[in-house]
Amino acid sequence: MIRPHPPNESPAEKPCHSGEEGAWVSPWALDEEWRDAPKAKRGSALFANEAAAPQPPSTPSPDAAPAPQAAPVIKKTATAAESPTPRMPVLGRISAPRAASDSLRRANSWGTLVFLSMGALAFAFIAWTYLEDEKTVGFDQDLLLRPPIDQAPTISTPEKLRKFLDSLKSLDAPAERRPPWLWDTPTLARAMQSNGVALDNLRDLLEDADWHPHHSSWHAEDMGSDPRWHQAMLLKQVEAAYLSRRRLEEDAFTAAIDLAEIGWRLEQMRAWPSFYQRSLEAHMRAAQTLADLLRQTKLPENTLRQFQRQFSVCQPSTEMLVERMNASYVHEKKLILGPKSGENLDTMPGGVQLQRPGRLLFKPHATVRLFAEAFRQLRDEAKAPLAQASEVQLKNAPEAGGGIKPNAEGGAYFMQRMKIYTPLPAFLGLARARGNLIITLFAVRRCIAEKKALPSSLDQLRSLHFLLDVPLDPFTGAPLHFEPSRGMIWSVGNDLKSTGGRPTEPPMEDATEPTLEIGVAVANAVK
């Protein structure tokens, strides 16, 4: 209950009383709640001057008499000399948490710094692993070709070759895809008439004494990959078959030898890898055409001897494939590094300075080293005494898949490009087998033409001087199989097994058993 003040007494002038009458008590002494605070806090430095602090007021008892009025207190401003010494604030209760917080912040700062440093180091290592592309000087000196530079300012052979390919007309070939010597005569005649200009252009091309295989003009255009080459080679087979049908046998042999010469000319080209592929194809078609002509020939021995010599000169060789591997490495290096490859700028493929894919995970120099190792392996495989029976498996082939790797795109590019080259040693082995079979058949037909009898063995052909050396089977290193009674000569082929020879049409089409028929009926007729 609140008691009203006396009329002449204001609340500010009302004195506070304790239980004893007349004793003055601080108003704060009447508030008992502050005493409930913990003793640890009350005894701290914050309450060191508790006695001097104003006492909380106490609530006056309803029965207590009113206290006498206190005299007014006049506040006196202390001078500088009389002012009390200021006390430093006591931080006992709040300093400990703040110090702990500062220590925690410092610890967190060091941890963040260490974490960021480790992250920066990891990023630098990863960046170095994925982006560093070390340049190695002189690692490919054994692969670089230094052929004599052709000083001719311009040459006409590339233009003649382009003119020949452009003049080819579509052949009216039978739907059965049979070889031309099995076509009927009217079909052969129509094919010859429609391509008279192309044959004249090819004759002009072959009469060129020097094709300048090392000239920079061959690098301007990849004419070896022109799809019309297949039609051009078929046309020469058509010509040989047509001339043979007209009893112009010597001209027919000349057409077949022209096809072998085309292969020999293309084999010497160093500009594009497609030239070597077309070379092996031309050799195969020349051998198959000569096989058909030889099994029914009636030419004299001296004429056959001349054609045998011409064909032997055009045979594909291991030495040319070794040079082709070196030239192919230089070609791939120029595609990747462009002018930085160190090669002449006028020999850049197609005039393009750089054709490598512009991808993140592609290291040019590391990819070039992959090509160098692969071409060394292919070169060694080509030098092996025996022919390769299958496609070469690269020792340094990058593993497929496996996530993101430092040179993943370079490895994929390398594997895609090497698909052109890995079958070449096996193709060369098969071409050598076919060539040795044809040379042997030439010797047998010469023996028949002169001696009027079949030889009893291949060694007899050497003793009769129809062969300088007995041709070997490149797949085994042993002499070719020869059976006069059956009238067949064959190689074991790329399966390395002999099953007695299997004649095919066109001849030697089966890679597992390339076989030639001698023409025993003709041989018996001339006995």
Give the pLDDT score at 399.
77
Residue 202 to residue 166: CA distance in whole angstroms: 11
Which of 174, 450, 409, 423 has the alpha carbon at shortest distance from 305? 450
User: Under a CB-based contact definition with an 8 Å cutoff, are residues 522 and 295 in contact?
Assistant: yes
**CA dihedral defined by 482, 483, 486, 489, rounded to 10 degrees?**
0
Give the pLDDT score at 403.
58
Residue 34 to residue 353: CA distance in whole angstroms: 92
Residue 479 to residue 459: CA distance in whole angstroms: 10
Residue 69 to residue 62: CA distance in whole angstroms: 18
Give the pLDDT score at 43.
45
| Intervals of the chain under pLDDT 50 | 1-21, 28, 34, 40-83, 85, 88-94, 125, 128, 130, 402, 522-523, 525-527
Helical ranges in 77-176 per DSSP H = 92-131, 157-166
